[in-house]
Structure 1
């Protein structure tokens, strides 16, 4: 089960580290082609969201790896489930109705929650 969690959490962590870093360092103009919703949010909120994604990715990997507070891995994965539910709502209320990636990330994060409870 640890190997399965490592694979799922590792993939999620790579995705969220990448996406979070882009949100933290790129301008609104450079984010717009990938994330049409950035025009509907204040830039500080986009930056905060990126920071949360980076911290969540860290929470998926470091606690189980170090053995320190491994329950944080469950909390991080659950946080990503909630984040993606919010992301789906944002996409559906705007003009951008592409939610396939968000649904996939929600399911993957839910699997990570389940696997994290088995650590």
Structure 2
């Protein structure tokens, strides 16, 4: 995914949910590739945590009758960090308000990414 694709994806997501406060595309190795808006913590911490969380989810889900991870969310009092795999090599992290229903976003993101050619 390049910067224009990331920007297009963010425009689609913003139109779908005005609750999005920030976004980051994270490589499977933990590097923040692109970032937009508020992401609550520094880039290196986000990248490492995002990659680790997704690897843990893949490990757990592989033991659950081949049930691939579709999303992981971390919720605190004010915010939700939503991690969604976007292809084999990247993770999209969205920062939203804590009360946001993330299910519509989780369902829509794979189609949006696919339409962008990923």
Q: Could you say whether these structures have the same fold, taking a TM-score greater than 0.5 normalized by the shorter chain as the test?
A: no
Bigger CA radius of gyration:
1
Which one has a larger percent strand, Structure 1 or Structure 2? 2
**Structure possessing the higher relative contact order (Cα contacts under 8 Å, 6 or more residues apart):** 1
Q: What TM-score, normalized to structure 2?
A: 0.34
Which one has a larger percent helix, Structure 1 or Structure 2? 1
